[in-house]
């Protein structure tokens, strides 16, 4: 509809029904009620986002989900380090903490888990940074267009 330059009007059926005091319902009464609401400029419109707004929403939702995964991976790595006696709290995510995490003694599946989590973390950090830039750009363009 947007591509064909038609304006889409969506209305809240429950609010239209609530504005009519009569219990009896017929198509003729409903049509009269809709006409009356239009004439009185009390028609209950519902907001319809544009395709661009929906796309921006998907961008933000995708970024939010990636940050959730990123946080879970970081928590898993922290627990893995704590299980091996590393207790550095905030400094764990610095250069020294990453080096200490790499130095943990490799033992079977623990080493595999650590390597996989570090690989996923590196990939996630790149994706999150890319989405942050996209969100900043979209926010900047929207602010510029509004003013």
Q: Give me the helix-helix angle, 95-103 and 51-83, nearest 10°.
A: 60
Indicate if the pLDDT at residue 147 is higher than 50.
no
pTM: 0.57
More confident position, 87 or 59: 59
Helix (H) / strand (E) containing 84: none
Q: Using CA atoms, how far apart are residues 47 and 56, in angstroms rounded to an integer?
A: 16
Domain residue spans of the chain: 1-48, 51-146
Q: pLDDT digits over 35-58, tens only? A: 888 888 887 777 777 778 888 888
């Amino acid at each position: 509809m947007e591509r064909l330059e038609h304006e889409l009007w969506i209305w809240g059926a429950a609010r239209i029904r609530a504005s009519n005091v009569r219990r009896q319902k017929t198509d003729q009464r409903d049509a009269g009620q809709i006409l009356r609401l239009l004439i009185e400029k009390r028609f209950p419109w519902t907001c319809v986002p544009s395709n661009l707004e929906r796309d921006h929403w998907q961008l933000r939702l995708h970024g939010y989900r990636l940050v959730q995964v990123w946080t879970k991976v970081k928590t898993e790595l922290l627990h893995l380090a704590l299980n091996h006696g590393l207790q550095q709290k905030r400094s764990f995510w610095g250069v020294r903490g990453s080096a200490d995490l790499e130095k943990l003694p490799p033992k079977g599946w623990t080493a595999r888990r650590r390597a996989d989590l570090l690989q996923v973390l590196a990939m996630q950090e790149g994706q999150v940074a890319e989405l942050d830039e996209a969100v900043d750009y979209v926010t900047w363009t929207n602010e510029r267009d509004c003013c």
